[in-house]
């Protein structure tokens, strides 16, 4: 019994344990539901899985199933980001506990009942529970926003702080997290209100299917705005998280944070105003420039830091030594690199498409445009997932060969896969339909190899963590003890601060 209690405490009462559970949930979802499309269908694996798990896949409900699937994965990813935020940013212990507890119950209920509704018979009681789970995640978001409130005196930064701050000491990084959290809540509300019209004036659709329709309803526009901004905010959150992890600071930090704050507000306003304002896209572009500049400053800082740390013992490092230092730790190099790579496969493609829409892309059949759109945002979502994995690998204390193998395999194989997907989606630029077979075959093969190997690496990592749980004094035990210690120290500091505050209050009253 103690064996189970110890593991339960680790898995559900520590940041690393909670993150491990959430990554396992996403891995399971990917492993099971990933077999229902793409090459898995060609290889006949889909049919086996459907029979084995007794799934009920109505052809007319496919779009609905996909939407449920995206939501459950999104809930889990949001939970992981919240775990990171509650650990990285100073907040009260009880706040951290209640936020993590609420969001954990929320995403698990959402995943279990959402998937049960979508893939096993459309039982509407399950749909209700799926909504309950999402509501709990939303409620956890409110609690997070309250906990992040940047104007509290105890979270203000001293004048000599290397982090971005206002003259009055307001921590601008905390403001950025707070603005991101509030924007996410607002955007989720937008989706929820639109979604509430489901079967009541609104019908399930995938945005990529409507792209060429000049007549979109307000509800359709609202949902298109919602899905775009939610993914953007998840990306902004992970950028802030890795910035915190790699101690992003100094001049670049001071420039980046105001950009990130204003960019987040502008993009959110732009994406949500798609419903009413014709020029919404221009607003989004402006916000995107701000956010992307902030991310660029993070990349410059993090790579500079890796070079500085890696060449600290060399008086005048050569270019080669600097490059070696930069590449010496793929786990810390990875987040910045994936953000740079994102420009080739996501941002660059998106801008090219926007500029050449009438001239090139609208000349192609809708299906080609749809492939680019879906490829484009699948890549963005997956790049975010790899950045999460880098951070979690670091939190897990991955060292030595394992750290290098894990890091480089994830970087190289994900880049191979996403690069191939990009070539596949843009193939019409250089091959006609009659000549495309070679390109299709090989880009899809390279994509499968890349994604397959990333999943193998992830599986090895997850199995290592699983086997570790059976050890009495495994990594999990050390992590848990370290976290208890950190929390206890933080609690002592908090109690000291509180005690001092109360003493001052008493003095004030005695006067």
Q: In the complex, which residues of this chain contact another protein (CB under 8 A)? A: 37, 41-42, 58-60, 62-63, 203-204, 212-215, 328, 357-359, 362-367, 400-401, 404-405, 408, 412, 416, 432-438, 440-442, 445-446, 449
**Any residues with CB less than 8 A from the CB of 144 and at least 6 apart, and which?**
82, 85, 86, 99, 181
Residue among 392 and 406 whose Cβ is closer to another protein: 406
Assess contact for 409 and 330: CB atoms under 8 A: no
Least CB distance to another protein at residue 441 (A): 5
Nearer to another protein, 63 or 501 (CB): 63
Q: How far apart are CA 261 and CA 272, in angstroms?
A: 17
Residues 245, 247, 253, CA angle at the centre, nearest 5°?
120
Q: Would you say 59 or 158 has its CB closer to another protein? A: 59
Least Å distance, CB 310 to another protein, is 11
Contact indicator for 107, 79 with CB cutoff of 8 Å: yes
Which pair of tokens denotes residue 65?
């199933």
Residue 69 Cβ, how far from another protein at the closest point, in Å?
14
SS3 162: coil
Q: Which is nearer to another protein, 408 or 464 (CB)?
A: 408
Q: What is the DSSP string of 235-254?
A: HHHHHHHHHHHTT--HHHHH
Rounded to whole angstroms, how far apart are CA atoms 459 and 469? 15
Token representation of residue 316 = 């005048």
Separation CA 330–CA 338 (nearest Å): 11
d(CA 235, CA 423): 23
Between CA 372 and CA 421 the distance in angstroms is 9
**Cβ-based neighbours of 22, under 8 Å, separated by 6 or more:** 76, 77, 79, 80, 83, 107
Is the CA virtual torsion 298, 300, 305, 306 positive or negative? positive
Q: Are 375 and 421 in contact (CB under 8 A)?
A: yes
């Amino acid at each position: 019994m103690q064996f189970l209690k110890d593991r339960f405490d680790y898995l559900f009462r520590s940041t690393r344990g909670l993150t491990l559970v959430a990554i396992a949930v996403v891995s399971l979802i990917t492993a099971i539901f990933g077999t229902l499309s793409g090459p898995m269908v060609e290889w006949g694996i889909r049919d086996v899985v459907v029979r084995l798990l007794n799934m009920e896949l109505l052809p007319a409900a496919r779009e609905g199933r996909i939407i449920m699937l995206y939501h459950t994965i999104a809930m889990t990813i949001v939970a992981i980001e919240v775990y990171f935020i509650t650990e990285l940013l100073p907040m009260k212990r009880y706040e951290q506990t209640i936020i993590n507890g609420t969001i954990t119950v929320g995403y698990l209920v959402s995943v279990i009942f959402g998937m049960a509704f979508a893939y096993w018979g459309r039982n509407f009681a399950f749909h209700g529970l799926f909504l309950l789970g999402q509501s709990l995640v939303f409620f956890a978001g409110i609690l997070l926003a309250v906990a992040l409130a940047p104007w509290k005196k105890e979270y203000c930064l001293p004048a000599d702080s290397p982090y971005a701050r206002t003259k009055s000491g307001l921590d601008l990084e905390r403001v950025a997290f707070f603005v991101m959290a509030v924007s996410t809540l607002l955007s989720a509300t937008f989706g929820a209100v639109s979604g509430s019209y489901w079967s009541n004036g609104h019908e399930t659709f995938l945005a990529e299917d409507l792209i060429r329709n000049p007549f979109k309803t307000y509800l359709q526009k609202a949902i298109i705005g919602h899905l775009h901004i939610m993914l953007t905010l998840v990306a902004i959150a992970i950028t802030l998280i890795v910035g915190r992890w790699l101690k992003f600071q100094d001049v670049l930090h001071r420039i980046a944070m105001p950009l990130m704050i204003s960019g987040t507000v502008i993009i959110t306003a732009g994406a949500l105003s798609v419903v009413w304002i014709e020029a919404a896209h221009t607003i989004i572009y402006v916000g995107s420039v701000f956010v992307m500049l902030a991310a660029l400053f993070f990349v410059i800082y993090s790579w500079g830091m890796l070079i500085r740390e890696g060449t600290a013992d060399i008086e005048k490092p050569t270019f080669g030594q600097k490059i070696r230092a930069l590449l010496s730790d793929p786990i810390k190099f990875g987040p910045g690199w994936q953000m740079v790579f994102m420009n080739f496969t996501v941002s660059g493609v998106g801008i090219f498409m926007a500029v050449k829409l009438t001239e090139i892309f609208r000349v192609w059949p809708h299906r080609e445009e749809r492939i680019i759109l879906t490829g484009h945002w699948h890549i963005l979502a997956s790049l975010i997932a790899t950045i999460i994995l880098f951070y979690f690998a670091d939190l897990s204390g991955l060292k030595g060969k394992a750290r290098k193998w894990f890091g480089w395999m994830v970087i190289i194989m994900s880049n191979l896969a996403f690069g191939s997907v990009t070539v596949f989606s843009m193939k019409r630029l250089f091959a006609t339909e009659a000549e495309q077979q070679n390109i299709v075959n090989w880009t899809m093969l390279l994509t499968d190899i890349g994604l397959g190997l990333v999943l193998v690496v992830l599986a090895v990592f997850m199995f290592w963590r699983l086997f570790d749980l059976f050890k009495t004094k495994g990594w999990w035990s050390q992590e848990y003890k370290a976290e208890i210690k950190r929390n206890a120290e933080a609690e002592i500091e908090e109690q000291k601060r509180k005690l001092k505050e109360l003493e001052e209050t008493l003095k004030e009253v005695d006067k």
